[in-house]
Structure 1
Amino acid sequence: MSFAQWSIVGVPVAIVSLVLAWLFLCLVFKPEIDVVKGLDSLKDDRKNLPPLRGSELRFTIVFAVMVVMWFVPKKIGIDMYMTTWLGIFVMSLPGMDMVDWKEMNGRIDWSAILICGAATALATVVANLGTGAWLSGILANLFLSRVAGMGLLVLLLVINIMMMVGHYPMPQGVSLAGLCLPVVGALALDLGLNPIAVCLPVCMSTSMLLLVPIDPTCYTTYSGGYWKIKDMMSTGVVITLGYVVVCSVWTAVVAGIGLLG
C-alpha cells in the first residue's frame, strides 16, 4: 500500500470526522463566548511576520521533501520508513537548530509522559504473554468470520468497532495494530477480499481513543483540568460511532471503485 492510497482514504475520513465532531461538541458544550475578539490584530500581526528563515525554513524544506518522497517511494527506491528516518536524521544534524531541549524541557508535562509509558508497558506485557493474540483470534473466529459473508461494508463496520473496544485492554496503538493486522489480513485473503481495504481500518482506528484519556494527545489536554473524564466518555461514544460509520462507508466506496488496487 502506498502513501497515496493511505491518503485517499485517510484524508477525507479525517476531514469529515473532524467537522462532525466539532459540530457535535458545539451542540453539547455551548460556546462560552459569542465573539472572538482580537482577530483583527492577529491578522495584522500575521501580515507583519517576516518571511521564513533559519530553522523554520529548514524544517519546511525538509518536511516538504519528505512528503514528496512518501508519495513516490517506487520511483526513488526509498520506502516510507527509510524516508522518515532520513528526515529525523537530517533534522537532528548539528546546526539545524530545530529543537531547543532546554526550552522544551520546561514545557513538557511529565505526568502525561509517565501515563503514556505505563500504557505502552501494559500493551507490551499483553503482547509478550500472548494474551492479545489469543483475544484477537477469538474475536476473529466469533465475529469476523461470521459477518464476512454479509458484505464488505458490514465487515468494515465490525472491524472498526472491534478496534475501538480493543483499545482498552491494549491502549498502545502500534501493539494493537501488530496483533490485529495478521488476523484481519489472513481473513481477507481467505475470503478473497482486498486486504488493503480490510486492513486500513485497523491502522486508522488505532488513533481513535476517545472514551478515556489514555492517549497522549487526549491526556495532554486532560492534565490541564478543563474537562472531566465523564465529559469525554459522554461525547466520545457518539463521536466514535460517527467515525466508525464514516470510515467504513468511505473505505468501502474507495475499494469498490478500485482505487485500492
Structure 2
Amino acid sequence: MSTLLKIEFTIPEQVADEAGVFIASKVPHGWEETPAGDGRKFTLYLEDHPLGHEMVKEFQARFPESDVTWSERESEDWAMAWKDFFVPVNCGESFRIYPPWLDDGDSEHTHIVIEPKMAFGTGHHPTTSLCLATIGRLAQAGTIAKGQTFLDLGTGSGILGIGLSKLGLTGIGLDIDPQAVVCAVENLEANGVSGSMSLAVGSIDCVEQDRTFDLVVANILSGPLIEMAGEILPRVRPGGSLVLSGILADKQSDAVAEAYARRGLGEPQRFVEGEWICLVWENLRD
C-alpha cells in the first residue's frame, strides 16, 4: 500500500514569507499554514518521498533556525488529511472557496467548490487569491461582464475559470498537465459550470490563431509569461483586459511588465499579497 510523506516546517515569523516562497517553488499544490508561537508552521503531503526528503535537506540548509519533522501515512487517508485543516478561504470581496464537505452558510460571496487534490491548487495560495480578488474587482467595475469571453492559461484545478463562469462569462481553460485537466473537469461539474468552460491539454499555441478573448488570465510563472508575451498579448481582444500572476513582487514583476511594455502596453496596475504580485492591464487597444 502506498504512503504519503507528511512534512511539517516550523519557522520564525520574520522569515515565514520567504519560506512560503521556497515551498511554492518546490510544491505545486496547497499546504496548511498555522500560527505557532512566535512563528508559523507549514504542513504538506507528498507522494514523492525522495523529493520530499531532498526538500527537507534544502529547507534545513536555507533556514537553519527551522524545526522540521516528517512522518508517513497511508495514501487512502489523503482526503481525511485535508479535512483536518482545509477551511473556506475568502478571495477578495467576491469569492469564497469551499471543499465539498464544508459549507458555513455564507451568502455574501460567490461560492467555488474545490475538491482538494494532491497535485493541484486549492485557492489558498496567494497567487490564486490575488487573481480571484482581481477578477472580482474587474467585475464590480464593469470591466468584465456577463456574456464576455475568457482564456485561463495554466488553469490547474480550474478555480479562476470557474469564478469567471459563475460571473456569466464563457471561455477556455488550458494546462500542459493532463492530470490537472482531469481535476478541472471534476471541479467544473461540482460547480455546475461545465457548459460555460471548455478544457484542453496544451498551451496557448493550441488555440486558433485568430481567436481573441475579452479577458486573458495567466497564473503561471514569470519565465513563461515573459517568453510567451508575443503569443499571449494578441489573444486579448481590443478593449479587453490582461491579468498575469505567479510573479514574485520584488524580483520578477519589473521584468514581466517590461516584456509587455516592449509590445506597446503601458504600466500595469499592481496588486500585492505577501511575496506575490498580480499585474493588470485594462481596456487594451490595438
Per the normalisation by structure 1, the TM-score is 0.24
Higher percent of residues as helix: 1
The answer to which structure has the higher strand fraction is 2
> Whose Rg is larger?
1
